[in-house]
Every structure is written in C-alpha cells, then in structure tokens.
Amino acid sequence: MMLNTLLATVQDRTGMDPATLGLCSVQHAIETRRKQLDLSELEYLRLVQESSTEFVHFVNQIVVPETWFFRGGEVFTHIAEVIRQVMNSRTTPFRVLSLPCSTGEEPYSLAIALTERGVPQRLRSIDGVDLSSTAIEAARRGIYGELSFRQTTPELKSRYFRIVPGGLQLDPLIRESVQFQVGNLLDPGLLLWQKPYDLVFCRNLFIYFSPEARQRGLTVLVRLVTPGGLLAVGHAESIPATDTRFERTGPLGCFLYRRTREGIA
C-alpha cells in the first residue's frame, strides 16, 4: 500500500508514469537508499513521502538519463543556421531553454554549433533545467565518457574537449555559456521570473508521461515559448493537430513546432 502511494506521488509530482520506470528499478532505488540510511522499507517509504529533500534523492535514483552530444544531429545544424540568420536583424540575445537537459549534452551541443557558425556568446542565452540534481551537477562539471560522443565528429571532439581524469572535459568558455538549475516541468511556477524563450528543447520527456501529465506539461510549455518561437520534441513525440497553439514547421527530421498566437489574450 505504501509503495502504491509512493508511485502515485512520483506520478503526480514528476509526471512520470510508473509503468515506464519499471517496478524493478523502483524497488532497487528503495532498497539502495533505505540501506544507506539504515531504515526499514516502511520507514523509508514514509520518509520519502514526508521529506522533499529525500524525494529528490529518490528521483535521482530512478531517473537514469541517456543522452549524447548532437543526438539527432540534423536539428542542431538547422537551428544553428536559423539563429545565425535571425541574429543578422536583431540585437537582443536569442534565448534557448533545454528541458530536461539531463547531463548537459543537448544545450552544450547547441552552444558548440552556434560557436561554429560564428554567433557570439553575447547574442545567445542558453539555460538548462532538469529534475535531477545529480544530472545538473554532472552538467556543470562537463566531464564525459566515450558514449557521449557517438554522434560527434573527431574534429569537434578535439576542438572543444580535453582529456582529464574521468573522461573528456568541455572547453570552459562553452561551459560558461550555459546556465543550469534544478526544475520540474510540472511546477506551475517554473521559470516564472524569466521572459519566454525563442526556442525550447523538450525532447524525449513526454514518452515517460501519463496522458494527464502531458497536458499539464504542454500548458507550461505554451507559457515558456514566445509566440513565433520554436519547440523541439523527440522523434517519438508529437503535439496533437487539434492543439492550435503549436504548428509543425522546419525539416521533417527536426520535429519542430512553432508557437502560434492562439490563446493569447
């Protein structure tokens, strides 16, 4: 009963459907943390319910990110060129959000692509947000193993990374160009202090969401993307054609939507 209550809490707070996580993974996370804290299973389940700090620790255990640099490479090439052209006619920074940003490969990939096309850092602003504090800490360190480079050319790898203990570390100028923080797409107050973004990456998140959570998340995304701005989703995701707040745009392989002015007062 307590486990079912915990799974319901996870779904309500994060949007993740427990069926997509796997019961074995959830049980392993419970067992790992309760042993670390020297608690019984019942005591630990109660702690997760009552402590927001422990809930974050638990989520860090069950969220296992898998990403790599230039994943779905065509979208970075296309968007970097779009931004380069846009910046010829504006002086304010082009604002980008990566949500979830995982361990940073996605926002860093765009930062590298923009650098390659000569878009100066003063004309771009990139934020990364993820539910996992562990992932955010790794993103800030910017040290990656070989699996993160499965779609990275040797030229870019040698130009922007150097060998350090534990892997390859990203160039500090690129790291400094991306700001990271912990956040939850289903939090109605997420980034309320920020202006809407010109581009939001929200790829491969909705596949883990329940239908109700997808609707809640999409409502937040409508607020985060400026009218006329772009939303990038994953190849296995789509926005229903009945939702007129977004319309499909760009090359088919990029899975981009443009925010319309529908629903704006």
pLDDT tens, N- to C-terminus, the chain (265 residues): 567 878 888 888 888 877 777 777 788 888 888 899 998 888 888 898 888 888 888 887 887 667 999 998 899 999 999 999 999 888 899 999 999 999 999 999 999 999 999 999 999 999 999 998 889 999 999 999 999 999 999 999 999 999 999 999 999 999 999 999 999 999 889 999 999 999 999 999 998 888 889 999 999 999 999 999 999 999 888 898 888 999 999 998 899 999 998 766 4
pTM: 0.90
Give the chain's end-to-end CA distance (angstroms, integer): 45
Residue type, 231: L
Nearest CA among 169, 98, 103 for reference residue 136 = 103
**Residues present in the chain in total:** 265
39 alpha carbon, distance to own chain's centre = 33
Asked if 100 and 131 count as a contact pair (C-beta separation under 8 A), the reply is yes
Alpha helices in 38-176 (DSSP H): 41-50, 52-62, 74-86, 105-116, 133-141, 154-160, 172-176
Asked if 225 and 261 count as a contact pair (C-beta separation under 8 A), the reply is no
Residue type, 260: T
Query: Which residue carries 């390859």 as its tokens?
Result: 168
